Structure 1
């Protein structure tokens, strides 16, 4: 369960920006849209980010993916490898020399944690982890570098071979990742949250979801395939069934480039999954190839597996441009899965960016579930909760007011003048 995510000095985000899923002290749609954390915190099941193109929505969500990636991979990198996740704000000289900072507050195995780190391209500058059993903060560890000197502080509640973990941690790796690689039981729940609970999906990429392993894994069983098919049928895209099989394909490797110590089969064949769709009203007809379908159908197919995974296990899905190539009502239906306690009994969460304004509806989402991104004249992204504008409960037309510019976060278009050549 995600409570908050904060990022500083990452791409277009210069100053710290913090996205919170802690529910505001209002009772809007309380029984359906809010879930209670183990420590009693009221947490939102979904949050949506709006803003003009190039305002930083994608950077905000990509930062969560970058944090996850560094947690999972840092211990496997070799000494001297650059930390690619450090991408400082480039529009002023001061930011270029400062570290990128990531922090997340979340619940794992029934305990609230606060974990973060700051990194440059060369090394980890700081790292910290606190646990809050019964909302009482306890330090597990803190690490800080001052020039060439690095200091560690360990809390009493951190068990295991702390000295071994510390000595094995390279300058460009995280202590958390290294300790878990060395079988730290105390830190495994935190690492596992990033590995198993936090899921990122960039649906804005041109080939996103076209061969998504989550959906293919579901289609490997009859029950899973039927669930995927039912989701496609619910979206009214005309799909009656899905056919998934494996093809053996020849590899174009010249004989002179082959390693004679390897068997011939290593070069002559490889496996490729083939996905085809059976359409309604075509009994006995040859199924359509994956590439014959619309981009929206292909993306919905790829997204299906992730949706099923996240809802079944109570995970957190971070998705950029979730509604890309999808009808607004399909996007609304997808969001509706997360705010339906019967469909989502384990409290799965959805955090996403979109331009579809039909979700700005107080009968559908709460006032505290909307976030807005803008860029200032200095090129830096700011993130603001729509709730700060104090919209009136139940009566304020959020979509209309947003499109009229009452909350900001809109593009200032000048197309007619630009085309006419006016300044």
Structure 2
């Protein structure tokens, strides 16, 4: 699972941002349900990242997603441009490196991996292992000079391009340590994407072919108040819609939902199949979430799933129910999400599970844990309202909105268009 993620000089985050899932010191609230022991430390099963629209919440997850992309995809040529996206609203940040760093647990070892880069080269890279409480640098690199390196990887280092991550080339040459680290990025760090008129990914859609899984999924949907009586998998065939045959553009697999059809008297008159793309965005989203949870459980647990704009298209009661599931004692996975639904602040969560993002007048996003606010560290009262304190501005991160001036601006536009003085 993810222990923490750091990044600097990426998109709206000019300064270092630290997202930590490590439990706060001396906090015992919801310890049995909301945390999980992974050996050296305990981590939180769920982090909620709040902030106004445009504050930079999505950029935080975009940074971790970019890091994953770079770990799994090696530039084909030494002249290929790296996905640098530095902070642009200053006179110097666009000339400085972007840095990503992650600390995670995989099987019986903890890995600390970081790198810095610009559009042309990897300027720094290091992998550190922590095993049985002992920390050791596995490799360290300053541009093309290796400061620390296993002898078995000497030849590999000489073949590593200036714009390639050494972690990638090491795993490509069958290094066991590098393979473990890359596998975590590939299989255990999971971004649950929005549907956006595309098919649910094949690996998730095919889960429905297992009758036991489908039975549990339908039960989940029924208790979430979705009127879907069955789900079918359509493989490799065109999908009939309104009497026409349309090609399958994105994948060979489609999911169809089955609903009851009623006559004018309110009696069931049969069933109708709908493409998932015809369902509401909320239905599409809950299907993605449910199948992602099921997939994580089937593949050994210990996964970290990330949701951007988690509450988008979901009603509050459903969002709150999912938060409760994420923090249940039976859950053995980790869920990180961004949201602007303030009422989720008063879910059954701990103070160290809440992060806030705000953007200052210079366009710089800042990430803060509510646990770091002095008056919250020793709070143990069950009745404390994080939402109320947020709205009062106790934590910052509240948008400064003047509706009267907004209305006046629009009125001014109308007056100018009419030629009024």
| 1:174-230 Cα deviation digits (max 9, x unpaired) | 000111011111221111111111111243x744x7523343121232223233322
1:210/1:302 contact within 8 Å kept: no
Change (3 A) 1:249 1:48: same
Report the Cα distance in structure 1 between the residues aligned to 2:404 and 2:132, rounded to whole angstroms. Answer: 59
Report the Cα distance in structure 1 between the residues aligned to 2:52 and 2:80, rounded to whole angstroms. Answer: 35
Aligned-pair distance for 1:420?
1.4
Give the match for residue 248 of structure 1.
Answer: 237
Q: SS where residue 81 of structure 1 aligns?
A: coil
Aligned-pair distance for 1:332?
1.7
- Does 1:38 find its partner at 2:26? no
Aligned-pair distance for 1:164?
1.9
- Does 1:310 find its partner at 2:263? no
Aligned to 1:215, which of 174, 180, 204?
Answer: 204
Aligned to 2:253, which of 246, 250, 273?
Answer: 273
Report the Cα distance in structure 1 between the residues aligned to 2:326 and 2:93, rounded to whole angstroms. Answer: 38
Report the Cα distance in structure 1 between the residues aligned to 2:204 and 2:344, rounded to whole angstroms. Answer: 26
| 1:345-396 Cα deviation digits (max 9, x unpaired) | xx311111011122212x6000110000011121111101111223332232
1:210/1:299 contact within 8 Å kept: no
Aligned-pair distance for 1:59?
0.3
Aligned-pair distance for 1:139?
0.7
Range with greater deviation from structure 2 (135-144 or 399-408): 399-408
Report the Cα distance in structure 1 between the residues aligned to 2:248 and 2:6, rounded to whole angstroms. Answer: 49
Report the Cα distance in structure 1 between the residues aligned to 2:183 and 2:269, rounded to whole angstroms. Answer: 46
Aligned-pair distance for 1:322?
1.1
Report the Cα distance in structure 2 between the residues aligned to 1:227 and 1:213, rounded to whole angstroms. Answer: 19
Q: SS where residue 229 of structure 2 aligns?
A: strand
Aligned to 2:380, which of 389, 393, 399?
Answer: 393
- Does 1:369 find its partner at 2:356? no
Aligned-pair distance for 1:414?
1.8
- Does 1:152 find its partner at 2:146? yes
Change (3 A) 1:269 1:293: closer
Which structure 1 segments of 5+ residues have no match? 251-266
Matches for 1:104-253 after TM superposition, within 5 Å? 104-145=102-143, 150-154=144-148, 158=150, 161-203=152-194, 206-207=196-197, 210-249=199-238
Q: SS where residue 92 of structure 2 aligns?
A: helix
Give the match for residue 264 of structure 1.
Answer: none
2:139/2:147 contact within 8 Å kept: yes
Report the Cα distance in structure 2 between the residues aligned to 1:211 and 1:42, rounded to whole angstroms. Answer: 33
1:323/1:331 contact within 8 Å kept: yes
Q: SS where residue 192 of structure 1 aligns?
A: helix
Q: SS where residue 300 of structure 1 aligns?
A: helix
Provide the aligned length of Structure 1 versus Structure 2.
391
Aligned-pair distance for 1:269?
11
Aligned-pair distance for 1:135?
2.5
Aligned-pair distance for 1:49?
0.3
| 1:280-327 Cα deviation digits (max 9, x unpaired) | 574632223323321101121122221212244220011111111011
Give the match for residue 286 of structure 2.
Answer: 300
1:229/1:241 contact within 8 Å kept: yes
Report the Cα distance in structure 1 between the residues aligned to 2:187 and 2:286, rounded to whole angstroms. Answer: 22
How much is the aligned-residue C-alpha RMSD, in angstroms?
2.4
2:260/2:272 contact within 8 Å kept: no
Change (3 A) 1:271 1:99: closer
1:338/1:349 contact within 8 Å kept: yes
| 1:71-114 Cα deviation digits (max 9, x unpaired) | 0112x532211112x11000012100111100001111211111
Q: SS where residue 389 of structure 2 aligns?
A: helix
- Does 1:410 find its partner at 2:411? no
Report the Cα distance in structure 2 between the residues aligned to 1:130 and 1:272, rounded to whole angstroms. Answer: 41
Aligned-pair distance for 1:22?
0.6
Report the Cα distance in structure 1 between the residues aligned to 2:68 and 2:280, rounded to whole angstroms. Answer: 32
Q: SS where residue 350 of structure 1 aligns?
A: strand
Change (3 A) 1:202 1:274: closer
Give the match for residue 80 of structure 1.
Answer: 79
- Does 1:286 find its partner at 2:272? yes
2:2/2:304 contact within 8 Å kept: yes
- Does 1:96 find its partner at 2:94? yes
With normalisation by structure 1, the TM-score equals: 0.87
Q: SS where residue 126 of structure 1 aligns?
A: strand
Give the match for residue 261 of structure 1.
Answer: none
Aligned-pair distance for 1:165?
1.4
Report the Cα distance in structure 1 between the residues aligned to 2:105 and 2:313, rounded to whole angstroms. Answer: 33
